[in-house]
Structure 1
Amino acid sequence: MSYQWLEWAKKIQALSQAGLTFSKDMYDIERYEELRNISAEIMAQYTELDMTKIKDLFTNETGYQTPKVDVRGVVFKNNQILMVKENIDNKWALPGGFCDIGLSPSENVVKEIKEESGYDVMPVRLLALLDKNKHQHPPEPYHYYKIFILCEIIGGEATIGIETNNVHFFSQHNLPPLSTNRNTMAQIDLLFEFLRTPEKKTLFD
């Protein structure tokens, strides 16, 4: 499905935010604020989000806008993949989340897996760095990069976290309903390819 309207809205938002960051002229600032309002109106027209909420999302962003970074832990055991059930939509995802400032990607994934699944892990290898816009995720107002890191369990036990309500390992052909904002069926299939073919090269984009 094409979401060209979303791409236009995000580009207008990014340009307006950059303009508001660097412009000193009061008239230019007014024009950039109007552009940001237009991008919010486009979002409100095509989504179920309230206009006020959309403006809050956009106005909370300051500085030159860049993609956000989401890290996901890939943990296999007995040819099955670790997944957690998210409270927010009651669907399943690889443990992970936004990268926190001050932590490296591998440090972030260790923290996220522990918090969401209870397992202690050791990062082993970067499997993929994907642009969310190039994969079949539902439309969102922001641009994301997704980092998938292979990890090995070194301790801990299955324990739910603040944001999760179940922890389980699944085989490739017996997957639960997926939280597609976080991971798609195609991405999970891709990760199982790395399990079957350890020498597979890291993927990007």
Structure 2
Amino acid sequence: MTPVPLIADELRALALAGLAHVRDAYDLERYRRVLHLSAELAAGDGPASTPEIKRAYLHNLAHVSPLLGVEAVVTGPRGVLLMRRADSALWAVPGGLAEVGETLAGAAERELFEEVGLRGQATRLLGLLDSRLSGSRHGLHIVTALFQVEAAGEARPTLEAREVGWHAWNALPELHPGHAATLRVARAALDSGLPHFDPEPPRPLHPQAHRAGGASPRQTLGVRLVRLLVRAGGWALLRGERPAAPQPRP
């Protein structure tokens, strides 16, 4: 069964895609309602309230995509380098989310340094992992790029790592959810020389539909107007609010 946070994310993505290509006021209302329902699902029993999440959604009307993660696999004569996470006390591969303005390889190098104090260089892409298929339990859709990183020096504990250590491939400790898949993919890629990716199961695909001769001028103008409001952050319109009347000049 799909976790509720992933359902909320997918509904949000569908709503925003619909709002970017809305054709009439009825579709506008439908997609706006889907966006609000996704916010209610995302709120759930979490610390943020539904109104707070709705405001965050309506102030960020960009196309929603999976998050990008990175993980750094460092190997040596003693096996693979792992860190005991500060949050779960379980062992994991160093990694995290990529930041705006850096390559995925650079993000893996940064995460390795931040989490275990090692400076290294990404030398090889081992695979791309989809969090929905890896056994992770955080409820987010993250696509993680797994890199082999050549590093020198001694790893050390940090705020995010209670301890660090080398572990033999055939004697791994208890792992944080999702990291058994990470290490399985990493070892296979190191042995085979081939990067891994998760294939998409069969699903229906629909091509973009185009009217013969193009859309009518009236429809085109309406579509352009709504798209402009969405892309300009027209969240007041999406909330169903009327714009404030202009004030007379003094």
1:20-79 Cα deviation digits (max 9, x unpaired): 56669777555433212322444566xx53562796396275400111100000111214
**Aligned equivalent of 1:144:** 142
Q: CA deviation at 1:204?
A: 1.3
Letter in 2 for 1:174: A
Query: Superposition RMSD on alpha carbons, in Å?
Result: 3.0
**Aligned equivalent of 1:89:** 88
Q: Distance in 2 between matches of 1:150 and 1:189?
A: 13
Residues 1:173 and 2:170 aligned together: yes
Say which of 175, 182, 185 aligns to 2:180.
Answer: 185
Q: CA deviation at 1:18?
A: 3.2
Do the aligned partners of 2:72 and 2:93 also contact (CA within 8 Å) in 1? Answer: yes
Q: 1:113 to 1:8 in 2, by over 3 A?
A: closer
Letter in 2 for 1:143: H
For the pair shown, which has the larger CA radius of gyration, 1 or 2? 2
Q: CA deviation at 1:8?
A: 4.2
Q: Distance in 2 between matches of 1:202 and 1:168?
A: 25
**Which runs of 5 or more residues in structure 1 are unaligned?**
none
Q: CA deviation at 1:136?
A: 2.2
Q: In terms of mean alpha carbon deviation, does 60-69 or 111-120 score higher?
A: 60-69
Q: 1:110 to 1:16 in 2, by over 3 A?
A: same
Q: Distance in 1 between matches of 2:75 and 2:157?
A: 18
Q: Distance in 2 between matches of 1:120 and 1:53?
A: 42
**Which runs of 5 or more residues in structure 2 are unaligned?**
199-250
Q: CA deviation at 1:124?
A: 1.3
What fraction of aligned residue pairs are identical, expressed as a percent?
26
**Aligned equivalent of 1:72:** 71
Q: 1:157 to 1:146 in 2, by over 3 A?
A: same
Do the aligned partners of 2:81 and 2:165 also contact (CA within 8 Å) in 1? Answer: yes
Do the aligned partners of 2:189 and 2:195 also contact (CA within 8 Å) in 1? Answer: no
Task: Determine helix, strand or coil for the equivalent of 2:110.
Answer: helix
Q: 1:88 to 1:62 in 2, by over 3 A?
A: farther
Do the aligned partners of 1:123 and 1:152 also contact (CA within 8 Å) in 2? Answer: yes
Do the aligned partners of 1:40 and 1:51 also contact (CA within 8 Å) in 2? Answer: no
